[in-house]
Structure 1
């Protein structure tokens, strides 16, 4: 399968996700949200109690990231991805509520992969260790929920040409598995 460079707008739709393939380089422009461990735990607890979530899941992308403080004149500090598996307990429920994309680094559990397939969603990887470079794609940042969590608060970001790679596509093709097979020799 030929890997491609693709530009997409966020929020994304199922029409977008089904046209993304594992290994594609993607540049995202639009609104995405950040949430890490503590925010995911709170959202999960809110759902358990029957409460409304602080952000809409439908067609949105969550970036697993907690930024460093912004330098003067910048909307955000270093903004590299965190390990996605820490959100695996919570991700299937959010995917079932309409979440269409997640950005992080590292492998995902079978339960998350099954939920990705079931919901025609995608898992993107951003380059770990490149937080300062990635932050240059973030044009606006505002805390929208759980301000008391500091860097783990939920933020609404406006990004332009945010670079990532499709790791797991809506069919369950997993770059972390296929890349290994490609280079065995």
Structure 2
């Protein structure tokens, strides 16, 4: 099965993706977890953000310490549902993609459909492998949050799967039924 090549910033092309598609992502990706999301919404209430959201992708992750000679330490996905309270507002402002693991709320899935966004899955437990696709890394905001600071990373062909699409497709809903159909069929 071939992978769909995507490069950030993302645009209308995400509307062609379907839950279950394999993706190879390249370009700039922002890394942010719970505390950074909370801070971003506080900043939005004051009128600004530390980076432009339009067309961007946020990876829900936190790196381990960077070993000598590497760009970054291991960095695997964290549970995306923890960002659900913040996500609809960010999607409304132009966020086009999210990378993480686990189910998303109905509110997030509905907001993705309204605003044309995609939820991409990174394999949990494969943090070292995922970090090999990262070519550069810099802290861009909230350095005081330590490992929860916002990072700007550049990725090269990061292998991902579409978990949720802009049409309401949700692999967590369709996956088990699809697998049963294939086994019965």
Structure 2 counterparts to residues 143-158 of structure 1, below 5 A:
143-158=139-154
Q: 2:164 aligns with which of 140, 163, 168?
A: 168
Q: Does 1:19 align with 2:21?
A: no
- Equivalent position SS for 1:177: helix
- Structure 1 gaps of 5+ residues are none
Give the structure-2-normalised TM-score: 0.95
CA distance in 2, matches of 1:155, 1:168: 24
CA distance in 2, matches of 1:24, 1:5: 7
Cα deviations by residue, 1:87-120 (Å, 9 ceiling, x for unpaired): 0000000000000000000000011011100001
- Equivalent position SS for 2:43: helix
Structure 2 counterparts to residues 1-185 of structure 1, below 5 A:
4-14=2-12, 16-48=13-45, 50-184=46-180
Cα drift, residue 4 of structure 1:
5.0
- Structure 2 gaps of 5+ residues are none
Cα deviations by residue, 1:20-74 (Å, 9 ceiling, x for unpaired): 11101101011110000000000111222x3201111000000001101111111
Q: Normalized per residue, which structure has more helix?
A: 2
- Equivalent position SS for 1:102: strand
CA distance in 2, matches of 1:183, 1:75: 38
Structure 1 segments, 4+ long, off by >2 Å, are none
Give the structure-1-normalised TM-score: 0.95
CA distance in 1, matches of 2:92, 2:113: 11
